[in-house]
Amino acid sequence: QQKVQQSPESLIVPEGGMASLNCTSSDRNVDYFWWYRQHSGKSPKMLMSIFSNGEKEEGRFTVHLNKASLHTSLHIRDSQPSDSALYLCAAVTNSAGNKLTFGIGTRVLVRP
């Protein structure tokens, strides 16, 4: 079983709409979460990271973290066709050598 679970598997959002993605770790030793974005045929690129409980906003992207439930979510407001991509959540456990463990990802399609 994946240590990092993402939902939904896929998501269709109208242009200008809100996309909400979820990620949960089953490893209670997780210290940090990262979000990466991967456009089709390209390599993953870091989007946002969150280390503390609460919320972090960067432009149209907002990340929430609840460390007690080991749950993070990514929200994309005013979605654009260029946001269509695979969104990967990754968890980091310092005691495991700072390795990133990735989830399977959520595929987002923004329809014009």
Partner 1 sequence: EAAVTQSPRNKVAVTGGKVTLSCNQTNNHNNMYWYRQDTGHGLRLIHYSYGAGSTEKGDIPDGYKASRPSQENFSLILELATPSQTSVYFCASGDGGAGGNTLYFGEGSRLIVV
Q: Is 104 in the site for partner 1 (CB under 8 A)?
A: yes
Q: Is 105 in the site for partner 1 (CB under 8 A)?
A: yes
Q: Is 43 in the site for partner 1 (CB under 8 A)?
A: yes
Mark the segment that binds partner 1 (CB under 8 A) among 19-27, 36-44, 57-65, 68-76: 36-44
Comparing CB distances to partner 1, the nearer of 12 and 46 is: 46
Retrieve residue 93's tokens.
């456990």
Cα dihedral 22, 25, 31, 33, rounded to 10, equals: -30
